[in-house]
Structure 1
């Protein structure tokens, strides 16, 4: 039955993409569905974008609002007890949306007051208020980044790859609209209030629409798919990307129940083994009787030296060295899978923030859709040997950094492509050096 419903949804949306009016599509949808689950919407979009229909994710993104309106009154709600607890990622996400909506309301009031004000001093104070409220509203970027960097990787692991791709594209469009609002606010005295009112409303319409999509579709998919362990992982990594206006008031600590029957284990040989190769025996008392097992522990390999380049290192030493390099290192393997990053600094301090949940993700899914052509061009050139490395740099005014990025092809002894190494570092301290010599041993 689910497959049939998905096919019907797919046919309805294909009609929409082929030019059918939203009204006629809505009527057919209402006649066919009393309710639709968010999971079915996700599967339908996946089928639509991966079929031979010719519909691309850009097409779906262009009609994202029409899709959302189609399902507006029909999406089935999903109730998960933990989701309303303080500190739960869903509760935090919804609380942020409430705070962001409140910021929208305050900005609209300030714009109305500015339009009606006649005194310069009053307008000056209102301008300061607008700047403060826009700075608060701008924290929505943290909200979006947690969604993109923590929610989306887990969604993809459960097979829901279409909604993240479409939603990330719309997120970036909203970011672009907000940049226009910020620019118009900076030029308020020269341009007048009309330009800012127009750009703000253009942003607000799309922003409020995204809040609906997040809470009525995205969160429903997550609540149907994610386990408690998934939510705990997200909660543990959320500080890396920050929050919008509000912060969790509590740490979410759900009650955990152990459903494994308790067993009593009595070790026959209580003394420590004389060597790593000695066999250890355990006697296990179970409800059915007594069981004795024997095993031979493996030798720890962390301390064993292995050949590394022109010398020898243990795995532990190699890991420590990588984590002490003064740069952020990321490795994407030859299959384009994000496989490794080092722990040179805590996640919160990274230039390009990484979290464990991103490991195993396809490199294209780690970037906003608008950057995919550039990502593909870089990886193709490195893979085919047309380039050995790409370099880029930019100045980050907000963090006082001058960021240098290198993408380097990794090849084995036979010249075969094995992946791409990215290393990122803040070179502002080096650019600030003014002397020709410094030994650093006299201080």
Structure 2
């Protein structure tokens, strides 16, 4: 992959940005490229958004459909045997898309049946079926969240930060279109079938386009750069966010090659003075390799000063994990650095996974929320505010969620980061008595 090819791709999209039609650049594209990989698409978008070309994130997002159509016939297919195995995240992702497409077809048929039906009883039954199918289709949000929370963080670690921003922005637009469909379906009898058909087709067009982008662009990038360990991490964390319509029937267990079993190794331990020393010998085709080292001392049980007392690292970790709230710490450089394990990840109010640790806080939020995120962190960082609070009633989960963003400052008053703590305060809001002591029961 040469710089020249990247620049040509960049020029083509700049032409489109400036108003050129897709047809006018198609011939140039075909003459220049016998095939273009998804990696090049990613690098091109990254260059556009991070250069002085004047192209912004919003511009690239608006060109997303043009990208897909332009590269549809030219994307190189990358085969990875693991991806076809049951339970592999790619296989699950594609199976979900098949199920979601099937739901779209069923909903279209129900809309046609409703339009043709004259009997009110039949229409009532069709509405019930329509609501069931829309509920199934609405599970696409689980599909999107796994993509956004598990795929995107790893993409960023490999330097592909532009496609996640673009795709997450389009995901949110699709979510907004589906919300309109849900509202129109609930008002079907008042508004008439045409209103619902129009809003559904507006959603379906964008939704089906996203399926193409996922399978022909996104997955191609992932299959080229993700390792087997990356896919295993994703598979292990996927249950946290759930699935769309179908669940993997079995756990993906890839064939793993144990290279150490092919070597003749021997380890001997001895005590030298007060220190334990490990002597490790490995026979290789080129000769014998010997390594001696002193293992690091286990310090988790050693206490050290903590505030007004003493705690070991293990005790501090246990205390943080037993607090009745979800805690997240973002450091002074706006990097998501820590979260506690107060509850299993699938039960979290704001779901966190290990793959999110190390991300910039802005990449952990949908693009449409970035102005609010930036406003909060800027005010806390600059000292204009010490904390922000918010709360909302989550009827679907039976929770009343209270969220606090608290500036963390050292003894000198210097900003060190932001502590977010989240808790369900519904049980406290339900308290009706002035006094209660459980021990008295």
- Where on the TM-score scale, by shorter chain, does this alignment land: which range? over 0.9
Alignment map for 1:306-325 (pairs within 5 Å): 306-325=304-323
Q: Of 332, 335, 338, which residue of structure 2 is paired with 1:337?
A: 335
Query: What pairs with 1:173-322 in structure 2 (closer than 5 Å)?
Result: 173-260=173-260, 261-267=262-268, 269=270, 277-282=274-279, 284=281, 286-287=283-284, 293-322=291-320
After superposition, give the CA deviation of every residue in 1:277-319 in whole Å (9 maximum; x if it has no partner). Answer: 3233536252466666543333321011111111111110000
Q: What SS does the aligned partner of 2:438 have? A: coil
Q: Which runs of 5+ in 2 are unaligned?
A: none
Distance 1:291 1:150, change over 3 A: closer
Decide whether aligned partners of structure 1 residues 284 and 428 sit closer, same or farther in structure 2, where only a CA change above 3 A counts: same
Q: CA RMSD in A?
A: 1.4
Partner of 1:431: 429
How has the CA–CA distance of structure 1 residues 414 and 191 changed in structure 2, closer, same or farther, with 3 Å as cutoff?
same
Distance 1:31 1:311, change over 3 A: same
Q: 1 CA distance for matches of 2:187 and 2:66? A: 34
* TM-score computed with the length of structure 2 as normaliser: 0.97
The aligned residue for residue 7 of structure 1 is 7
CA distance in 2, matches of 1:264, 1:35: 47
- 1:169-219 per-residue CA deviation (whole Å, 9 max, x = no partner) reads 000000000000000000111111111100000000000000000000000
CA distance in 2, matches of 1:242, 1:268: 47
Instruction: Give CA-to-partner distance per residue, 1:418-442, whole Å, 9 cap, x none.
Output: 0000000000000000111112211
Counterpart for residue 346 of structure 1: 344
Distance 1:33 1:292, change over 3 A: closer
Q: Summarize the alignment of residues 353-372 of structure 1 with structure 2, pairs less than 5 Å apart.
A: 353-372=351-370
> Does the 8 Å CA contact 1:403/1:424 hold for their aligned counterparts?
yes
Quote the residue 1:147 is aligned against. Answer: 147
Q: Distance in 1 between matches of 2:25 and 2:364?
A: 34
- C-alpha deviations, 1:124-173, integer Å up to 9, x for none? 00000000000000000000000000000000000000000000000000
Partner of 2:409: 411
Alpha-carbon spacing, 1:183–1:311, altered in 2? closer, same or farther (3 Å): same
Counterpart Cα distance in 2 of 1:268 and 1:354: 41
Q: State how far apart, in whole Å, the 1-side matches of 2:414 and 2:303 are.
A: 26
Secondary structure, aligned partner of 1:106: helix
Contact (CA 8 Å) 1:281, 1:292: kept in 2 or not?
A: no
**Unpaired runs of at least 5, structure 1:** none
2:278/2:294 contact within 8 Å kept: no
SS of the residue corresponding to residue 238 of structure 1 reads helix
Which residue is 2:438 aligned to? 440
Runs ≥4 in structure 1, deviation > 6 angstroms? Answer: none
- The residue aligned with 1:156 is 156
Map 1:18-97 onto structure 2 (within 5 A).
18-97=18-97
- In structure 2, distance between residues paired with 1:393 and 1:54: 39
Q: Distance in 2 between matches of 1:256 and 1:84?
A: 16
Contact 2:38 2:220 in 1 (8 A): yes
TM-score between the two structures when normalised by the length of structure 1: 0.97
Residue 398 to residue 285, structure 1, CA distance change in 2 (3 Å): closer
CA 378–143 in structure 1, closer or farther in 2 if over 3 Å, else same: same
| Shift, 1:274, TM fit | 9.9
Alignment partner of 2:333: what SS?
Answer: coil
Matched residue, 2:326:
328
From the superposition, tell whether residues 274 and 349 of structure 1 become closer, same or farther in structure 2 (CA, over 3 Å).
farther
Any idea what SS the aligned residue of 1:423 has? strand
For residues 263 and 96 of structure 2, the distance between their equivalents in structure 1, rounded to whole angstroms, comes to 42
Alignment of 1:385-404 (within 5 A): 385-404=383-402
